Amino acid sequence: MSTVVKTPRQVHAAGGYDLKKIRADFPILHQEIHGKPLVYLDNAATTQKPLAVIEAIEHYYRRDNANIHRGVHTLSERATEAYEKTRVAAQKLINAASSSEIIFLRGTTEAINLVAQTYGRKNVGQGDEVLITAMEHHSNIVPWQMLCEEKGARLRVAPINDRGELILEEFEKLLSAKTKIVAVGHLSNALGTINPIQQIARMAHAHNAVVLVDGAQAAPRMAVDVQALDCDFYAISGHKLYGPTGIGFLYGKTKLLDAMPPYQGGGDMIASVTFDKTIYNRLPYKFEAGTPNIADTIGLGAAIEYLNQLGLENIEQHESELLGYATEQVQKIPGISVIGTARQKAGVLSFVIENIHPHDIGTILDHEGIAVRTGHHCAQPVMQRFGIPATARASFGLYNTREEVDALVRGVRKVIEVMG
């Protein structure tokens, strides 16, 4: 039923957050599910894409498709320019010191694995420790478990309190000369908790540990400044940032990236190759072996540009208002408990209803046109911490409205009525 209408973009006047105009930029939102308008509240899983992104990818394949960093012909030049333009956009998005500190990868998961397999294998040894928190996503647990198993190192886990906040004193106690890497999420996908990265980095650096931040959920929801945070690595997924799937990036401080061995071998990551010796390329290309995902990188560039036009501060404020309103409304419903009540929180509303399994909540809400995630959110240890098998999670995006929150609340009441 939706028709793709060419809308003039870049018209969101400064200060004015025009939801009607913004929603017009996202063709997928304008459809019905089971006869009801789609209410998309699964943005922590993936976000929808604005026309600017869809069109950038189409334009690339229609006009500019060529391999990059080789070939002197015009198409290759155009493709290379568009690809590298995204690197600069990504640098500016998180205020990295240099664009060569941005490594394009498939997403946050690959970024964390890269650090575990290169920095980790080189610097973590027998008896050393990697410190994470009890609220991490599986992608910030398993790569470290694999590394620790291989090296005979130990994975330590800093506990969280009943609100779902990291207990900083306990975290600090776990740091020692053995700690080589601290890996922590900026914003918990299951609880919405925002971690105090600056403080965490200061504590970790006092013990000479490097800090990797999983920024998958934070990057689309707040202005990130990696230099102010003083983290050593920061990982981002494009598809949670209103960009395409299959593309994301890792930020790393130059001196660390320079000292790290390459991740994969192949074309583009070399300066010269003979059968006796290969000299690796300079940053960032040392870590980008093979033909990369050019089209989606360009799509990601369009997404970042879109976010810049709206202003991440405006998005943050909009989502904060929505989360506050949703929390207030949902808590009025008898039998509902919100899981994750951190004082610093954004984007995510996880909840359970007494005697109703989240899976049943998800099915009934879907029948009302409402898309939420139900399950353990790839954070099983978080579920164990709260003694629940799963939650229902509504997560907000830049295009969600108060009316959609009202629809969610009606939907939850319907769940209780059906399952009553």
Active site (catalytic) residues: 378
DSSP letters along 347-411, please? SEEEEEETTB-HHHHHHHHHHTTEE-EEE-TT-HHHHHHHT-S-EEEEE--TT--HHHHHHHHHH
**247 or 364, CB closer to other proteins?**
364
177, two tokens:
């000369």
Please, what is the minimum distance in Å from the beta carbon of residue 369 to other proteins? 13
346, two tokens:
């954004």
**89 or 408, CB closer to other proteins?**
408
**208 or 384, CB closer to other proteins?**
384
Angle between helices 142-151 and 108-115 (to 10 degrees): 20
Please, what is the minimum distance in Å from the beta carbon of residue 26 to other proteins? 25
Q: Rounded distance, CA 27 to CA 277, Å?
A: 51
Peptide bond into 284 cis (omega under 30): yes
Please, what is the minimum distance in Å from the beta carbon of residue 363 to other proteins? 6
Strand partners for 253: none
Please, what is the minimum distance in Å from the beta carbon of residue 383 to other proteins? 7
- Helix ranges, 141-293 (H): 142-151, 168-174, 197-206, 226-229, 254-259
**185 or 358, CB closer to other proteins?**
358
Burial category of 220 from C-beta neighbours within 10 Å (exposed 0-12, middle 13-18, buried 19 and up): buried
**42 or 165, CB closer to other proteins?**
42
Q: Rounded distance, CA 272 to CA 11, Å?
A: 48
Q: Tell me 291's DSSP state.
A: S
Contact residues for other proteins, defined by CB under 8 A: 355-360, 363-364, 367, 374-376, 380, 383, 389-390, 418-419
Please, what is the minimum distance in Å from the beta carbon of residue 355 to other proteins? 8
Please, what is the minimum distance in Å from the beta carbon of residue 358 to other proteins? 8
**In this structure, are residues 47 and 239 in contact, taking their beta carbons and an 8 Å threshold?**
yes
Which residue in this structure is represented by tokens 């960093």? Answer: 69
**211 or 356, CB closer to other proteins?**
356
